[in-house]
Amino acid sequence: MFELQSATLNAMLPLGVLTFKQMLLAGGSVIIVILMLLFLGVFASVASLWFRAYMSGAGIGPLQMVVMKLKKVNPQLIVDTRIMLVQAGLDDITTIALESHYLAGGNVPLVIRALIAAHRAQIPLDWKTASAIDLAGRNVLEAVQTSVKTKVIDCPDPSRSGRPTLDGVARDGIQLKAKARVTVRTNIKQLIGGATEETIIARVGEGIVSAIGSCASHKEVLANPMLIARAVLAKGLDSQTAYEIVSIDIADIDIGDNVGARLQADQAEADMRIARAHAEERRAAAVALEQEMRALTQENQAEVVLSESAIPKAMAEAYRQGALRATPKT
């Protein structure tokens, strides 16, 4: 009886093990099928983009498309920019770099257009620099365009400073009102951390006012305004800025007030007031001295009256004592 039961268990054991393995294989197959269905479901939404990327030679595989979808990256944007890069001959920028810049909050199409424009204009600009400029908040495409086509900045800018002219005074005291136009182009190497247009306007304005003040006569400036422009341009005002100054042109210059004469008149008026104050001080001192002398005169007169009042008393006393005698007549 015991031998029969053992034989039965030995016969059933391989059958149980085989069934467990089959269950594992079946479960794995089900999971694979589910994953494939999920993959196909996600890929179905980007199949047209993948086909367009494949036909354009962008080199984006189906798995990359699905991963972009799962990472919440805009696949159409990445495909469009990747196609633009390949067609422009900049296929060294990988899809992963585009995805990373997109996830970092950068403007991927703007950076790609800037790179293509710089490549066509033979301006040295790589992906790392362009993406850093974009993440720093600067418009990298505008910077490239300004490098190709110069930009003119009004100095001063009435919309920013509220002043229409730069006012300087020559050594002869004549005020000059000037307007300048500064032609600049972007210095991409110093775009990150470099000063902006406000610094250029401030430096050029200070340089023009200083150049006017160093002239001996306003006639020199009116005869040759380029003296100011050359003096300002020689100072290297574009140092540590995001721009390179190409030229400084004096657009307009007018004569203002005669500041020297006005200052001299104000000085003369001030001197006159000081002289009047000193004269008034001396007059007051004289009046005070006069009052003191009058008081002293009154005091002396009182003493004289007091002395005169003592004469009758002395004469009466002399009569009583017989000391007063009549003078004999001759």
What DSSP line would sit under 20-81, residue for residue?
A: HHHHHHHHHHHHHHHHHHHHHHHHHHHHHHHHHHHHHT----HHHHHHHHHTT--HHHHHHH
Q: Greater confidence, 321 or 22? A: 321
Which of 43-52, 225-234, 235-244 comes out lowest in average pLDDT? 43-52
Helix or strand run (H / E) with residue 223: helix 218-223
pLDDT computed for residue 4 by the predictor: 42
Q: Say what the pLDDT of residue 42 is.
A: 54
| 18 pLDDT more than 50 | no
Question: Would you state the structure tokens that stand for residue 23, as one six-digit string?
Answer: 């269950």
Q: Which residue has the higher pLDDT, 289 or 66?
A: 289
In whole angstroms, how large is the CA radius of gyration of the chain?
52
| pLDDT of res. 1 | 44
- pLDDT of 286 strictly over 80: yes
**Closest alpha carbon to 135 in 107, 158, 97, 94:** 107
CA 259 to the chain's CA centroid: 32
Q: What's residue 59's pLDDT? A: 74
pLDDT in tens, 132-152: 888 888 888 888 888 888 888
Q: What is the pLDDT of residue 45?
A: 59
pLDDT reported for residue 110: 92
pLDDT of residue 23: 59
Nearest C-alpha neighbor of 166 from the set 228, 258, 220: 228
Domains for the chain: give ranges and CATH numbers.
19-103 (no CATH), 150-261 (3.30.479.30)
pLDDT tens digit sequence for 97-118:
888 998 898 899 999 999 998 8
Q: What is the pLDDT of residue 8?
A: 47
DSSP label of 10: H
DSSP code at position 238: T
Share of the chain above pLDDT 90, in %: 7
Residue 277: the pLDDT is 92
pLDDT tens for residues 33-84?
665 656 555 555 567 777 777 777 777 777 777 777 777 888 888 888 888 8
Confidence of residue 221 (pLDDT cuts 50, 70, 90): confident
Residue 83's CB: how many other CB atoms inside 10 A? Answer: 18
**Phi and psi of 91, rounded to 5°?**
-80, 5
Q: What is the pLDDT of residue 25?
A: 64
Picking from 93, 149, 138, the residue whose alpha carbon sits closest to that of residue 116 is: 93
* pLDDT over threshold 60, residue 318: yes
* Residues 122-130, mean pLDDT to the nearest whole number: 87
Instruction: Tell me the three state secondary structure of residue 256.
Output: strand
